[in-house]
Amino acid sequence: MTPALQLIGVEKRFGATAVLRGVDLEVRRGERHALIGPNGAGKSTLFSLIAGEQRANAGRIVLHGDDATRLTSAVLARRGLARSFQTTSVFERLPVHENLRCAVLASLRGGAGLSARWLGSARADARVAELLDALGLAHAAQREAAALSYAEQRALDLGLALAGGAHTLLLDEPTAGMNRAEAARAVDLIRATTAGKTVLLIEHDMDAVFGLADRVSVLVQGRVIATGTPEAIRTDAAVRDAYLGAHFDARFNAPGHMRRAP
Ligand SMILES: Nc1ncnc2c1ncn2[C@@H]1O[C@H](COP(=O)(O)OP(=O)(O)O)[C@@H](O)[C@H]1O
Ligand SMILES: [Mg+2]
């Protein structure tokens, strides 16, 4: 089966600095694939290239078999690619359900006539109710987004990415800034809401990686140095050498030690 996403020799420079130096990566359809690597390795930059926010200097990006190297983020979104950001992107002054409704309506294209819009609106309401349920936010539907807890805001942010019915999701550090209990809930939520979808996520927390990822790729100094199951990556000598050394052991052997206290 054609992969969901293929990167072939992708390069990105900022001025004289080569940030991505020939990235090869394949994400299968329906898999959850974690991208790990030290700070500054180029993970977020890679996401911005895949999402069409920046252009690669060389290489190819293929989405579901079609060349996507030069597509804009708007076109990619219409083709089913959604990105959630490291910082939340909700409309703080709007109620939770309105946030989701905007995202759903934006994705319902087609007839612009009044009846079509009315039908679209009825469909949107049903979809919003479904999402509120799936996100565990039904109790907070009428609340301003700004009044949500941090973890709830991240759930809403995930909901905005899901609202358009995307088949491929890019999640940048979905558990960042959460305590262990919140992170565990976020992992459950991501697993439940992305069943059957393709997910590429950047994640530092190894509990979350093990809880979510079917496969892991390791990005070091702008190149993918290994791809495999979480267990294979954990025991890969080259990964240990090139990536984290003692820090790597600390992360894998002391789950959650990077987190703030609950
Ligand atoms: N727009 C930009 N202009 C110049 N340098 C950038 C830009 N975006 C990222 N970088 C640099 O690229 C490197 C990789 O950054 P980033 O992709 O954010 O890494 P990661 O997400 O793996 O921590 C860093 O050295 C960063 O300073
Ligand atoms: Mg980053």
Residue 242: its pLDDT value, please? 72
Ligand nearest to the CA of residue 37, numbered in listed order = 1
Q: Atom 17 in ligand 1: which residue has the minimum CA distance?
A: 42
Residue 64 Ramachandran class (φ > 0 left, ψ -120 to 50 alpha, else beta)? left
**Rounded Cα–Cα distance for residues 178 and 186 (Å):** 9
Q: Where are the domains of the chain?
A: 1-80+166-255, 86-165
Counting from 1 in the atom list of ligand 1, the atom nearest the Cα of 43 is: 22
**pLDDT for 118-150, tens place per residue?**
666 888 899 999 999 999 999 999 999 999 999
Shortest CA distance to 173 belongs to which of 197, 199, 205? 205
CATH for 1-80+166-255 (1.20.120.80, 3.40.50.300, 1.10.3720.10, 3.40.50.620): 3.40.50.300
Distance 219 CA to ligand 2 centre (A): 12
Residue 118: its pLDDT value, please? 64
**pLDDT for 189-235, tens place per residue?**
999 999 999 999 999 888 899 889 999 999 999 999 999 999 999 88
Alpha helices in 43-174 (DSSP H): 43-50, 73-78, 96-107, 114-135, 150-163
DSSP state of 95: B
